Amino acid sequence: MKRLNIAIIGLGNIGSHLFKYLNDNKKILADKNNCQPIVKYVSAKNKNRKRKIKIKKSQWLNNYLDATKLKDVDLIVELIGGSDGAAKKLVFNALKNKKHVVTANKALIAKYGDQLSRIAEKNKVNLEFEASVCGGVPIIRSLKEGLIANKISKIYGIFNGTSNYILSSMDNENKSFQEVLTKAKMLGYAESNPSADLNGDDVSSKLKILSSLCFNSFLNKDIYVEGIKDIDKTDIDNANKLGYKIKLLGFAELLNNKIYQRVHPTLIKKNSYVASIDGVLNAVIVEGKPVGQSIIQGEGAGPAATTSALVSDISSILRGNIKFPFSISSKKRKKIRFEKIDNRPFSAYLRFEVIDKPGVLSNITNIFSKNRVSIKRLVQNPDKNKKSSSIIIVTHNSKDKYLKKIIREISRKGFIKSKPKLIRIDNI
Ligand SMILES: NC(=O)c1ccc[n+]([C@@H]2O[C@H](COP(=O)([O-])OP(=O)(O)OC[C@H]3O[C@@H](n4cnc5c(N)ncnc54)[C@H](OP(=O)(O)O)[C@@H]3O)[C@@H](O)[C@H]2O)c1
């Protein structure tokens, strides 16, 4: 039987789990793929670190970059992380030296995916990155293979388990953002520095990769990004009263011949499918022709789910055939203009914490009418003790730029007590 020699570089949460999985499942993988995977080498930063896996002396590479030069390495699995530094050096060198690459590194692919795929195609090797988007949810292979027949018009969903855990726990356990974040760190759902999860950057990297696969385009930076760090318990409770849930969603969509990419907290109907996805789960919804709507849901992160995606990529290489990393040849990928969301219409939830005095409400509603944004619903919750009032307004569809203008204008008013909120509503 054919053999494929693998080097795993990076033996942290994911690398050690994959190492163990490949050792324990050699036979079944060989039977399924008609080619035997051999973990020939491994490397990480610190040779002396205690690890839960048993590494043979002959497997350890003192210099991780040696994997890119050794003749008896066919495939390098990069599990270091980060868009630059060691991971970048490893993957560029590996592809230049005609080694197949499998990576879980969304930051690297979102930044250098176009350059890397050109090198892979030129050198006729595979570059696979299923594990970089939504952990165990096999969305990339689905887009490249299972859904190949389709012209995709929209992809959206929950792409970040940490944010989803925080939002759904605030809702279900009646806790504040800070309380839930602390618990998420304790359970290992949030990193000690969770900023990329909370400010939307993690979803943005994943969405860039997905939309280029959906629209056969190069990776594109024109993407509106807003995270969940300003969402508080009051917004969650208000949403509930209005019949909505708040979710951090990513969207890439074709609308009236324009393509938009956007990441932001979104109010969605309580009884919608996406509203039912709680905790660390991810869900991806694809709309295309001829398939209609297709949904995949599952664990978005963690060693087990990520290993599942990595093994799918490794198996694809074991089975042979060189595939285009982004599904279509780099020569045929397009430079598409992604529109800013300024002119895209949204219905929205706006919240103003104000000093409770006569004239404030009419001042606010005048600014809405001046900007020709019509109000669908208005709720006022006065707090007599604090002499303040919370004003919640749900608008009809209006261009995003006018909604933002209203927020800017009202923020400057002396009666405003804290930063006003704007959360877009989507009818999914
Ligand atoms: N954790 C998840 O749930 C998850 C899910 C999907 C994708 N991913 C992606 O998977 C990748 C790995 O994540 P992880 O959670 O396993 O990270 P991790 O636990 O921090 O592990 C990183 C590994 O890289 C090694 N490393 C760091 N700098 C290095 C260098 N200069 N040269 C060689 N090795 C170096 C470290 O070595 P030492 O062990 O010696 O320090 C460690 O073994 C990242 O791209 C991440 O985004 C992770």
Reported as a single tens digit per residue, the pLDDT across 95-118 is 999 999 999 999 999 999 999 999
Question: 139-299 architecture in CATH?
Answer: 2-Layer Sandwich (3.30)
Q: How many CB atoms lie within 10 A of CB 348?
A: 26
CA of 164 to the centre of ligand 1 (A): 23
Provide the residue ranges of all domains of the chain, joining segments of one domain with +: 2-132, 139-299, 344-425
217: β partners:
334
| Coil, helix or strand at residue 52 | coil
Residue pointed to by tokens 């980060």: 82
DSSP sequence for 203-254: HHHHHHHHHHHHHTB------EE--STT--HHHHHHHHHHTEEEEEEEEEEE
Backbone φ and ψ of 106, nearest 5°: -65, -35
CA of 107 to the centre of ligand 1 (A): 12
pLDDT for res 261: 96
Domains 139-299 and 344-425 in one fold: no
Say which of 144, 206, 208, 247 is annotated catalytic.
206
pLDDT > 90: percent of the chain: 93
Please choose, from the candidates 194, 125, 134, the residue with its C-alpha nearest in 3D space to the C-alpha of residue 159.
134
Sign of CA pseudo-dihedral 13, 136, 265, 82: positive
Q: What is the pLDDT of residues 27-60, one digit of tens each?
A: 999 999 999 999 999 999 999 999 999 999 999 9
Spatial distance between the Cα atoms of 334 and 337, rounded to a whole number of angstroms:
9
Give the burial class of 20: count Cβ atoms within 10 A of its Cβ; 0-12 exposed, 13-18 middle, 19 or more buried.
middle
Spatial distance between the Cα atoms of 379 and 330, rounded to a whole number of angstroms:
52
Q: What is the CATH number of domain 2-132?
A: 3.40.50.720
Mutating to test ligand 1, I would choose from 52, 65, 80, 282 the residue with most ligand atoms within 8 A of its C-beta, which is 80
Question: 344-425 architecture in CATH?
Answer: 2-Layer Sandwich (3.30)
User: In 34-154, which residue ranges form alpha helices assigned H by DSSP?
Assistant: 85-96, 106-122, 139-141
CA of 81 to the centre of ligand 1 (A): 5
Spatial distance between the Cα atoms of 192 and 336, rounded to a whole number of angstroms:
37
Spatial distance between the Cα atoms of 128 and 312, rounded to a whole number of angstroms:
9
Is 206 a known active-site residue?
yes
Mean pLDDT, the chain, integer = 96
Mean pLDDT of 330-356: 96
For residue 188, name the pLDDT band (cuts at 50, 70, 90): confident
| Coil, helix or strand at residue 377 | strand
Mutating to test ligand 1, I would choose from 45, 102, 282 the residue with most ligand atoms within 8 A of its C-beta, which is 45
**Does residue 219 surpass a pLDDT of 80?**
yes
CB of 403 within 8 A of CB of 425? no
Mean pLDDT of 264-271: 98
CA of 10 to the centre of ligand 1 (A): 5
**Does residue 77 surpass a pLDDT of 90?**
yes
pLDDT for res 256: 87
pLDDT for res 193: 86
pLDDT for res 257: 85
pLDDT for res 191: 77
Mean pLDDT of 154-181: 95
Collect all residues with Cβ–Cβ distance below 8 Å to 228 and sequence separation of at least 6. 163, 166, 167, 198, 200, 248, 265
pLDDT for res 353: 98
